[in-house]
Structure 1
Amino acid sequence: MKQNNFLSSLTKEELIKLIEAYSKNWLAMDGVWFQSIERKFGMDEAMHHDREAWKSFTITEARRIKQFLGLPEHAGLEGLAKALQLRFYANINNDEIILGKDNKTLVYRTLECHVQTARKRKQMEYHPCKSVGIIEYSGFAKTIDERITCECLSCYPDITDNSCCCAWQFTLNE
């Protein structure tokens, strides 16, 4: 892979700001293609393509993060907690990770969602992300450790917890 020598000259603070900018750029691209399909073909068609895209992307993202962190094949919930913090979303959304006292469950909650905030600002209907989230979070977790399963606790359009935008529970099945 080509080395970008300019990156080597940046300070740690500049690199962190660049990662934040890259994360926002990634999310903007994700939103631009989605909204293009949504405008032309409607929400159902856009959601179909969103689910298809996430089936592949979430595995790619998880593999690369797993490799970067040097996680073992069975990284467990501790490995998942580390990996979740390095996703593009971690640089954009306000979230929290709650590891169960038994180390058998982990709850990931998005407290402020950049996507839903942007759609609200543009006076658009909320993104019905639950069906995509199930694919995204389940696939991500399974790639980190095949023993982990994922359950949606709350996500639009099925909000059961008004203290967050979405909540997902991961369980380690040994």
Structure 2
Amino acid sequence: MKIKLFITTLIMSCLITMNTPTQAEAPTPGSATDPVITRSYFEQNTLSEAKVKELIASALKASAGGSQPSGSNGGTGTGTTPAAMTVVQLKAGQTLYAGAGAEFIVRSGKVIAVSSDENGIPDVTGGKDIAAGTEIATNHLLIFPRDGRGIKPAPKNTADIFVMVRGSYLLLNEDGSTATP
């Protein structure tokens, strides 16, 4: 009888402790884990839609005035006008390298991704990262965040390859010489 009473009391005390909220579950207002801020601080330190538009416009103005690397081609915009697309024909043995921020759309032919490091190429249309050596689908928008990445004809390609390019690029022959587009 005493043992049953002891076990019942032990079980009840365990249940009560398990249902009691701890201090970790309810942070103290104004502490480091739950800071209290004023409305003016919040308004001064958050980005409004107008601030975002202003930042984008100033970044576009700054990039429009930038210079392109030597030996590269492509459009440069003025103000907020986007750079024009250039059509480049890629021939067997050539590699088309993108400048930082350039965009490619492969219109025809079969090409594979090229990268000087382990990072791939963002395929915006497909919503994935394309690793080096992977075939790229036609009509997909590729954005190149850094130099050193590009595309080249797939080994079994027999079709003409045409690529729409926005931004700076470098077209190299198989021997490393610069090709004329």
- Band the TM-score falls in, shorter-chain normalisation: under 0.3
The TM-score normalised by the length of structure 1 is 0.24
**Structure with the larger RCO, 1 or 2 (CA within 8 Å, 6+ apart):** 2
The TM-score normalised by the length of structure 2 is 0.23
Q: In proportion to residue count, which structure has more helix? A: 1
Q: Which has the larger radius of gyration?
A: 2
